[in-house]
Copies of this chain bind each other. A is one copy, B any other.
C-alpha cells in the first residue's frame, strides 16, 4: 500500500529478474554520469545507452527524468549505507559523543553523495512531486537533528543561548551539501579533516563546557 519508491513510479512492485537488472543498470549509469560530468550531462538518452537499453525502456521504469533523479536519491542511500551511518550516532554513550559522531557521519556519507544530491536539489525546484519527496527526505534529517538537540538538552549539555528548537534548525541547516562540497572538493579537505573540524565547530557551538564536566549539573 505504501510504496516508498517513486512518487509517480508507474511500476508498482513485483518485477522479474530482467526488469530489476535493467532498473539497477539505469540507476548505476545515471549515477556514473552525474559523478563524471555533472547534472547537465544526465540525459535519458545517455543513461539508456550507458545502461545498454533504449531510451524508451528507461521510460518504462521512470516516468520522467525528475523521477529517475529522485529514485537515485533512495538508490544511493541504500548503496552507501545511509541508515547504518546514522545509526552509529545513537549508539554513542552520551549526547556529546553523539554530536561528534554526527559530524563524522556528515564527513563520511555526504561526500559520496554530492553529485546526486546536486541533481536532486535541482529537480526539486521544478517538479512539485520532487519537492514533496525532497521534503520527506529532509524531514527525516530534521528528525535526527531534533533528536540530537534534545539529547543534549536532556543531559544538560546544550550551550546557553540555544534552545532545542533553534539548535535543531541550525544543526539541520549545517547539513549543507554546499558546505561539504566547498571544503571537501574545492578546498581538498580529507574526510578526517572534515570530520574533525565539523566536530570541533559543533562542540564549541552547541555544547555547554560547564554542563557536567565542569562542576555543576553533574547530578
Contact = CB atoms under 8 A, between A and B. Distances in A.
A122 B118 CA distance: 9
The prevalent SS among residues of A at the interface is helix
Nearest to A167: B197
Nearest to A196: B161
A38 interface: yes
A51 to B, nearest CB: 23
A200 B169 CA distance: 14
Interface stretch (A15-23, A75-83, A146-154, A170-178): A170-178
B189 A182 contact: no
Nearest to A123: B40
B182 A179 contact: no
Q: Which of A40, A159, A162, A169 has the most CB of B within 10 A?
A: A169
Nearest 4 A/B pairs, CB to CB = A173-B182, A176-B178, A178-B178, A40-B126
